[in-house]
Chain A
Amino acid sequence: MTKRQLFYGLNFLILGLSVWAVVRDNTREWKDYQTEFKRLEVSRLKDALSNAATDAEKESLGAALQAAKRQGKAIRQVLANDLGKADRCVTCHVGLDPYANPGLSTPYTEHPYKASEVPEHKSHNLTKFACTSCHMGQGLATTVEDAHGRVAHWEEPMLTGPSIQAACVRCHGDFKTLKGAETAKRGKELIDRLGCVGCHSFNGVGGEISVDLGDIADKPTSRIDWSHTGECHGEHCGALEKRDWNVKNWIELHFTRDPIVLVPGDPEAKQCAPKTKCEPVSPSGMPPFYKELSKEDAVAITAYLMGQTANKYPSDYFVYAAPAKEPAFANPTAHGQYVFQKYGCAGCHGEGGKEGRRNYNAKANDQTKMEEGLEPTLTKVVGNYTREELRKKIHDGVPASAIAKFKEDGPMPPLYMPKWNEKIKGQELEDLITYLFSIAEKQEVW
């Protein structure tokens, strides 16, 4: 090749690459959506025009048609300055843009609802809330994948379906009474029923065995060990793709799979550094709930938990609920049952104390494996205690080190009976004991 040929060739190559850059910059996904919107809007107005009865109607529709035809392509955004939001969702969901489509008359790309008919949209002004303060996702983005938050390095995926009710929980203290927040309400009820607070706390209120869930929705993806959610083949990892590695899916997995699969620990002490001894580490202490919960239950609990965030909006965005009153009870047994639920006893002992849940490597009857270790089933054991003994047991708890192990060199059981002396006392304690005796089966010895 001569220098001259090189000179021309390279100049054309650079020109070509620059043209490629220009083309790439100008072919953006959102433009297709706006083209389609314009087509729909023009055809709708044309139809309306041909059916128009009066001259005045014709005139206004004609003007609207001309305006629609003149409509250029542009990135649109909704600003909510109080929240620092600039959401470009309306760039594709043009039908929702109050400026491009004041009557919200063409519902194009506002699936699955007609936005104007969603009552929440009426009460949550777009210029005050924008889109992502409820729906999450990435408001600044203008491609489908990025905007909906299904990309790596974006931690807030768009909440779809009933998950969106997490947004209600974030601001509405009284979300349980809201119409449309039924899933979140159900999630909260499940959390109360299952006794999550026996081990978990919410903003410091609750058990201390496991993680505080008060800001669980803010948990960064990098703090999660994804190793056991499934083998990875490229971007596909078991049930989840890598771009779906976010806290919402992590929470949900805890109710659709056995937590000891997600967090297996090191029960055989195999992960020691070379030439060292190390202790076995028990897997997740969380009992398996996946058998008794449906997919809808898992979604409901996740929706409620995704509402638990420390990222607070300005106070005028909040609807505070009146502080809940302690309900009154007719008899001590009913009160005891309430106390049983209030402190999450069911988390370990099962609902109504009927079924002790898994406690890894704790000694239980008829056990062949460490994962068959169980917490005491209260209905079977309470009968062996006197009232005084039971009071002392609840008061002092049983430390993990005092729990009999199934395998002596196995890990320490992760669950244990906390000291309740500072939490359950007085009338609550007495009524709880009364309740416990009321459920005890006295015939069997455990």
Chain B
Amino acid sequence: MSDTPAPTPSPAPAPAPKPAAAPQFSVDTLIKEATNGQIWKSMFRNWPWQDTARHRARHIVDNVWLHLHPTKVRPRALETTFTWGLGGLSFLLYLLLTITGVLLMFYYRPTVELAYQDMKDLQFAVSFGIFLRNNHRWCAHAMVTIVILHMVRVFLTGSYKKPREFNWGVGVILLTLTLFLSFTGYLLPWDQLAIWAVTVGTNMAAATPFLGNEGPFANLLGMKINNDVRFVLLGGTTVGANTLLRFYVMHCVLVPLVTGALIMLHFWRVRKDTFSAAPRQPDEEKVDVWPHLVVREYIAAAICVAFVWFVSVAFDAPLEELANPNVTPNPSKAPWYFLGLQELLVYFDPWIAGVLIPGLIIKGLCAIPYLDTNPKGVGYYTWKERPFANAIFMFGIVMWFVLIYIGTYCRGPNYFWYWPWESWLIHKPAPPPTWSFPLWLGVLSIAGYAGLGMALPKLIKGEIDWKKANWGFGVFFLVLAAAMKIGGDIEAWRIIVVGALLWMTFLFGFLYPQRYLKDIDFMRYQIAQSLNLMMMAVLLKMGLRLGLDVKYVLELPQFNLNI
């Protein structure tokens, strides 16, 4: 055995060789010689490859990139439809974004004078500049989408249940970090799209209770525009040079590091918690991760890469005119994943829509594994075994995306309602004047909704016949509709909006909990049902505004509490 790889053949033409003595140079022998030396073997221990059980296992264990996997998994975990590879794809996109991001950093200068010019340079003067920028942009959108889908998948297969509760929480935090990563990157092109999306987004921070200058109790800590939490985030009172630098540092260093650390924790937990939640079959035999799982992962990754590559060549990332703090585009919209929240700003005061509701969403998501005591449905899709959990969760997800859709496609100038097929050049009249419930009615409504909503499902013993209940609701709605038509001369579509939302609240706030939340303990019922009721209340309030022009149900300006 030689210590060094075989020397490469001399390029000089050999003098007429004797056929018998000619050394047989071929690719195979070359590879064999090269991989036989000490250098190669010091790097790759599992060599030469032999297709034995031992080598398959060592291929995983000896490789730093693959050793996250177990050496064997249950066959169920290989099915494409079980995980869709979404967790892995999220990580893949994180890596791609790191690579493209680092490359872009070589040309990008985070100052208000140069950032926009550098965008133009990337587009017009840098080789592969526009491809990299497109790629970074579309990968970021893809990552946000895939991380959300990953969460949905994990929920639907019950993969957050014991012992994975904590890792679900880590995942929720990773989701918010993903959103924050994308959001901080949004500012960097320094065009009109960027600064106004970030202005809209960070204005919500100003509504934080106690810490934001527009939030409730801002006076208690003496919060002003130049010392509150938004000021710290922006490094100034408006989105400006400091903000650009701050977001740049957060986007390129701070948030990726934190995200990376949490990804490691997430993976470590995945591995420790037996990798896959697939249930054990009685006579199953585990299969080797190499090659069975690895090749599937590779195919999923290749499809993802092919997709973002195609989009990056075919579609250019948006770039509007240079940022101008004096010119507010009409409408100004946050990045698409925050448009659900921005839509809520139409119906609620900023601190409720921008702080309370997102806060409750994150906390509610984290609480799910601790509230859901149903042991069934771990590792497979099932509606029958967990109807309540699936129904409420999917309801929330669909509502979130419907709100995003409305914010993206149905909101035009002045944030008035424009159907997707309508031109924004049409002049829409202002929305009708709004009114608020008188205080007594407001208190009564809130107390009634909360009290009845919490108590009724628990109080009623026995099963309710859903058919009858829905028919009963139908009759109630017809009476209500008639009353609205006669009493207030309200258009039919408004009555339908109100009716549809009331029915949804009836279904998810009462019927489902009445049937499925009976057996959980008192504390869990309290928390789960109150979160559920609050979600439905958001919808009801939207219905009251769209249908009946209600501004506030409860108006307590002295406490900054207007619901």
Q: Which residues of A contact B (CB under 8 A)?
A: 3, 6-7, 10-11, 13-14, 17-18, 20-22, 24-25, 75, 84, 86, 88, 138, 140-143, 146, 153-155, 220-223, 226-227, 232, 271-276
Determine which of B121, B313, B427 lies in contact with A24 in the assembled complex, contact meaning CB atoms within 8 Å. Answer: B313
With A18-B309, A21-B128 as given contacts, are A232 and B330 in contact (CB-CB < 8 Å)?
Answer: no
Chain B residue nearest to A276 in the complex (CB): B433
Is B309 a contact of A17 with CB atoms below 8 Å? yes
Residues of A within 8 A of B125 (CB): 75, 88, 140, 142
Extra contacts besides A17-B309, A18-B309, A75-B124 (10): CB < 8 Å:
A6-B299, A21-B128, A22-B128, A84-B113, A222-B330, A232-B425, A271-B427, A273-B429, A274-B432, A276-B430
- Within 91-142 of B, Cβ neighbours of A (below 8 Å) are at 113, 117, 120-121, 123-125, 127-128, 130-131
Is A3 a contact of B124 with CB atoms below 8 Å? no
Chain A residue nearest to B119 in the complex (CB): A140
- Within 303-324 of B, Cβ neighbours of A (below 8 Å) are at 303, 305-306, 309-310, 312-313, 319-321, 324
Across chains A and B, the number of contacting residue pairs, with CB separation under 8 Å, is 96
Complex CA distance for A220 and B313, rounded to whole angstroms: 31
Complex CA distance for A14 and B304, rounded to whole angstroms: 10
Q: Which residues of B contact A (CB under 8 A)?
A: 113, 117, 120-121, 123-125, 127-128, 130-131, 191-192, 295-296, 298-299, 302-303, 305-306, 309-310, 312-313, 319-321, 324, 327, 329-330, 423, 425-427, 429-433
Is A273 a contact of B430 with CB atoms below 8 Å? yes
Chain A residue nearest to B426 in the complex (CB): A227
Determine which of B298, B306, B321, B430 lies in contact with A17 in the assembled complex, contact meaning CB atoms within 8 Å. Answer: B306
Complex CA distance for A227 and B305, rounded to whole angstroms: 42
CB pairs A–B below 8 angstroms (23 shown): A7-B299, A13-B302, A14-B305, A14-B306, A21-B131, A75-B125, A140-B117, A140-B125, A141-B120, A142-B125, A146-B124, A153-B319, A153-B321, A220-B321, A222-B192, A222-B330, A227-B425, A271-B427, A271-B429, A274-B432, A275-B432, A275-B433, A276-B433
Residues of A within 8 A of B113 (CB): 84
Complex CA distance for A353 and B167, rounded to whole angstroms: 83
Complex CA distance for A86 and B309, rounded to whole angstroms: 31
Is A10 a contact of B303 with CB atoms below 8 Å? yes
Complex CA distance for A150 and B317, rounded to whole angstroms: 19
Residues of A within 8 A of B306 (CB): 10, 13-14, 17
Chain A residue nearest to B303 in the complex (CB): A10
Complex CA distance for A227 and B130, rounded to whole angstroms: 33
Complex CA distance for A75 and B120, rounded to whole angstroms: 14
Chain A residue nearest to B127 in the complex (CB): A25
Complex CA distance for A11 and B320, rounded to whole angstroms: 35
Chain B residue nearest to A1 in the complex (CB): B299
The 3 closest A-B pairs by CB, nearest first: A10-B302, A273-B430, A140-B120
Is A20 a contact of B321 with CB atoms below 8 Å? no
Is B329 a contact of A222 with CB atoms below 8 Å? yes
Expressed in whole angstroms, the minimum distance between the Cβ of A219 and any Cβ of chain B is 10
Residues of B within 8 A of A154 (CB): 321
With A3-B299, A7-B299, A14-B305 as given contacts, are A222 and B327 in contact (CB-CB < 8 Å)?
Answer: yes
With A24-B313, A222-B327 as given contacts, are A272 and B429 in contact (CB-CB < 8 Å)?
Answer: yes
Complex CA distance for A18 and B308, rounded to whole angstroms: 11
Is A88 a contact of B425 with CB atoms below 8 Å? no
Complex CA distance for A142 and B129, rounded to whole angstroms: 13
Determine which of A21, A223, A275 lies in contact with B313 in the assembled complex, contact meaning CB atoms within 8 Å. Answer: A21
Chain B residue nearest to A275 in the complex (CB): B432
Complex CA distance for A273 and B549, rounded to whole angstroms: 12
Determine which of B124, B128, B299, B313 lies in contact with A141 in the assembled complex, contact meaning CB atoms within 8 Å. Answer: B124
Complex CA distance for A140 and B125, rounded to whole angstroms: 8
Is A88 a contact of B313 with CB atoms below 8 Å? no
Is A7 a contact of B320 with CB atoms below 8 Å? no
Complex CA distance for A123 and B11, rounded to whole angstroms: 62
Is A10 a contact of B117 with CB atoms below 8 Å? no
Complex CA distance for A397 and B125, rounded to whole angstroms: 59
Expressed in whole angstroms, the minimum distance between the Cβ of A272 and any Cβ of chain B is 6
Is A88 a contact of B128 with CB atoms below 8 Å? no
Expressed in whole angstroms, the minimum distance between the Cβ of A330 and any Cβ of chain B is 49
Expressed in whole angstroms, the minimum distance between the Cβ of B303 and any Cβ of chain A is 6
Complex CA distance for A88 and B423, rounded to whole angstroms: 36
Complex CA distance for A425 and B298, rounded to whole angstroms: 86
Complex CA distance for A215 and B447, rounded to whole angstroms: 57
Chain A residue nearest to B135 in the complex (CB): A21
Residues of A within 8 A of B117 (CB): 86, 140
Residues of A within 8 A of B313 (CB): 17, 20-21, 24
Residues of A within 8 A of B309 (CB): 14, 17-18, 21
Determine which of A7, A25, A84 lies in contact with B295 in the assembled complex, contact meaning CB atoms within 8 Å. Answer: A7
Residues of B within 8 A of A20 (CB): 313
Expressed in whole angstroms, the minimum distance between the Cβ of A311 and any Cβ of chain B is 12
Complex CA distance for A412 and B314, rounded to whole angstroms: 53
Chain A residue nearest to B430 in the complex (CB): A273
Expressed in whole angstroms, the minimum distance between the Cβ of A335 and any Cβ of chain B is 42
Chain A residue nearest to B313 in the complex (CB): A21
Expressed in whole angstroms, the minimum distance between the Cβ of A327 and any Cβ of chain B is 39
Residues of A within 8 A of B310 (CB): 17
Complex CA distance for A117 and B309, rounded to whole angstroms: 48
Complex CA distance for A12 and B276, rounded to whole angstroms: 31
Complex CA distance for A168 and B88, rounded to whole angstroms: 61
Complex CA distance for A170 and B426, rounded to whole angstroms: 36
Residues of B within 8 A of A146 (CB): 124
With A75-B125, A143-B124 as given contacts, are A25 and B427 in contact (CB-CB < 8 Å)?
Answer: no
Expressed in whole angstroms, the minimum distance between the Cβ of B241 and any Cβ of chain A is 16
Complex CA distance for A271 and B299, rounded to whole angstroms: 57
Complex CA distance for A175 and B128, rounded to whole angstroms: 45
Is B433 a contact of A3 with CB atoms below 8 Å? no
Residues of A within 8 A of B305 (CB): 14
Chain B residue nearest to A237 in the complex (CB): B425
Expressed in whole angstroms, the minimum distance between the Cβ of A241 and any Cβ of chain B is 14
Complex CA distance for A232 and B426, rounded to whole angstroms: 11
Is A3 a contact of B430 with CB atoms below 8 Å? no
With A14-B302, A153-B321 as given contacts, are A25 and B429 in contact (CB-CB < 8 Å)?
Answer: no
Is B296 a contact of A3 with CB atoms below 8 Å? yes
Expressed in whole angstroms, the minimum distance between the Cβ of A277 and any Cβ of chain B is 11
Residues of B within 8 A of A21 (CB): 128, 131, 309, 312-313
Determine which of A155, A223, A272 lies in contact with B321 in the assembled complex, contact meaning CB atoms within 8 Å. Answer: A155
Is A88 a contact of B431 with CB atoms below 8 Å? no
Residues of B within 8 A of A155 (CB): 321
Expressed in whole angstroms, the minimum distance between the Cβ of B149 and any Cβ of chain A is 21
Residues of A within 8 A of B123 (CB): 141
Residue among B320, B329, B427, B431 facing the most chain A CB atoms (10 A cut-off): B427
Residues of A within 8 A of B295 (CB): 3, 7
Complex CA distance for A18 and B124, rounded to whole angstroms: 19
Determine which of A24, A226, A273 lies in contact with B425 in the assembled complex, contact meaning CB atoms within 8 Å. Answer: A226
Is A273 a contact of B433 with CB atoms below 8 Å? yes
Complex CA distance for A2 and B184, rounded to whole angstroms: 42
Complex CA distance for A153 and B320, rounded to whole angstroms: 5
Expressed in whole angstroms, the minimum distance between the Cβ of A229 and any Cβ of chain B is 9
Residues of A within 8 A of B127 (CB): 25
Determine which of A25, A75, A276 lies in contact with B128 in the assembled complex, contact meaning CB atoms within 8 Å. Answer: A25
Is B327 a contact of A220 with CB atoms below 8 Å? yes
Complex CA distance for A25 and B425, rounded to whole angstroms: 36
